[in-house]
Amino acid sequence: MLIRRAPRFTSNDVTDETLYWNRREWIAAAAATLALLPGEGAAAAPAGPPLKAARNEGLSLKEPPTKFDAATTYNNFYEFGVNKDDPARLAHTLRPRPWAVQVDGLVHTPKTFDVDELIRLHPPEERVYALRCVEAWSMVIPWIGFPLGALLRRVEPTGQAKYVEFTTLLDPNQFPAQRRGFFGFSSLDWPYVEGLRLDEAMHPLTLVTVGMYGQVLPNQNGAPLRVVVPWKYGFKSAKSIVRIRLVAEEPKTAWNKAAAQEYGFYSNVNPEVSHPRWSQATERRIGEFRRRPTLMFNGYADQVAHLYAGMNLKALY
Ligand code: MTE
């Protein structure tokens, strides 16, 4: 029998999503009939340790979740490279336990927490959110975590605290793209830094996320803990966080430093403000072909619009 090998596509940071999914479907179909060589197929989605969580019905989106396999193999995590499948292939080098998170800055009681201590202190709940990336696609992911506000109240912010800065781990042994001489795009200034205004951080929708789909967070999705801010573009949700710092000034964020004219501090999902290189008026849900109109604040306008009352969101994008 003539066995044809899967065609080799190369992808880059702007991988065309249709091509990507056609390729994955092709590989899945081929795998069913042909014996694939090791490493030739796409990375299998990992089945991680289970993580129990009560459903927060009030704050959950009532839409069917994206397939787990898609949510764990089509990722942005530039510490592992710029291709959407790099994180699933390479994130086994990340060691998410033991893991300490420092919560400090303008607070009365700074503290460093072990991640499992944090989970014990804050019983996780499940919330389903659409996470939209900058390339106008979206996924619906049942995130598991607890409100960031509960953690911030624990360390008692002082009156000077106006913003919250999140910092990802800096460790070239665990993140290949942080190595000097790493082959590929590496123009982000490591470590990855993101930030929120204090009132955004205290909003009950803002989640410290430790799991998804009933299990602990897979490495490629930001293990052992990341932030999820459902009404903002995906890049605001920093992964694998080691420090949460309360500060007086707007933090300098990684994407803003790399391309200020493209990525502002607020980064609210806003169909009326085009990215300089593409429209943000419509999006494609991963797993669907039709495009749908993008909703202001990702559909959470009723809950969050008041945070931006009186602000010019075209100037403060
Ligand atoms: N956090 C770190 N540390 N490094 C990154 O490259 N990418 C961001 C965000 N958080 C990123 C990160 C971007 S661009 C997106 S869209 C989301 O993570 C993707 O999260 P997901 O892979 O779980 O969907």
pLDDT of 316: 92
Query: pLDDT band at residue 43, thresholds of 50, 70 and 90?
Result: very low
Structural domain includes residue 314: no
pLDDT of 233: 96
Residue among 43, 99, 46, 98 nearest 216 (CA): 46
Domain of residue 154, CATH code: 3.90.420.10
Report d(CA 224, CA 204) in Å as an integer: 21
Query: pLDDT band at residue 185, thresholds of 50, 70 and 90?
Result: low
Structural domain includes residue 5: no
Mean per-residue pLDDT, 115-132: 95
pLDDT(26) > 70: no
Kindly report which listed range (3-12, 89-98, 130-139, 241-250) carries the lowest average pLDDT score.
3-12
The CB of 237 under 6 Å from ligand 1? The reply is yes
CB atoms within 10 A of CB 42: 19
Beginning with the edge strand found earlier in the chain, give each strand of the sheet holding 193-197 in spatial order. 111-114, 100-105, 241-247, 163-168, 193-197
Chain-centre distance for alpha carbon 248? 25
At residue 120, φ and ψ (nearest 5 deg) are -65, -40
Residue among 240, 161, 243, 233 nearest 197 (CA): 161
Structural domain includes residue 238: yes
Structural domain includes residue 204: yes
The CB of 227 under 6 Å from ligand 1? The reply is no
Structural domain includes residue 46: yes
**What range does the domain containing 205 cover?**
11-308
Residue among 283, 282, 305 nearest 231 (CA): 305
Structural domain includes residue 53: yes
Residue among 105, 119, 213 nearest 166 (CA): 105
Report d(CA 168, CA 194) in Å as an integer: 9
* 45-61 pLDDT per residue, tens: 567 899 999 999 988 88
The CB of 221 under 6 Å from ligand 1? The reply is yes
Report d(CA 172, CA 195) in Å as an integer: 23
Q: Please give the tally of structural domains in the chain.
A: 1
* 223-274 pLDDT per residue, tens: 999 999 999 999 999 999 999 999 999 999 999 999 999 999 999 999 999 9
Nearest CA to ligand 1 atom 10: 238
Helix (H, G, I), strand (E, B) or coil at 114: strand
Q: What angle do CA 133, 135, 138 make, to 5 degrees?
A: 45
The CB of 94 under 6 Å from ligand 1? The reply is no
Q: What percent of the chain has pLDDT over 70?
A: 84
Report d(CA 171, CA 17) in Å as an integer: 30
pLDDT of 180: 83
pLDDT of 182: 80
Structural domain includes residue 199: yes
pLDDT of 133: 86
| N-term to C-term CA, the chain | 57
The CB of 234 under 6 Å from ligand 1? The reply is yes
| Ligand 1 centroid distance, CA of 240 (Å) | 10
Report d(CA 58, CA 68) in Å as an integer: 23
Structural domain includes residue 193: yes
Residue among 198, 200, 256 nearest 231 (CA): 200
pLDDT(221) > 60: yes
Mean per-residue pLDDT, 178-183: 82
* 265-316 pLDDT per residue, tens: 999 999 999 999 999 999 999 999 999 999 999 999 999 999 999 999 999 9
The CB of 131 under 6 Å from ligand 1? The reply is yes
Mean per-residue pLDDT, 6-16: 29
Please, what is the average pLDDT of the chain? 86
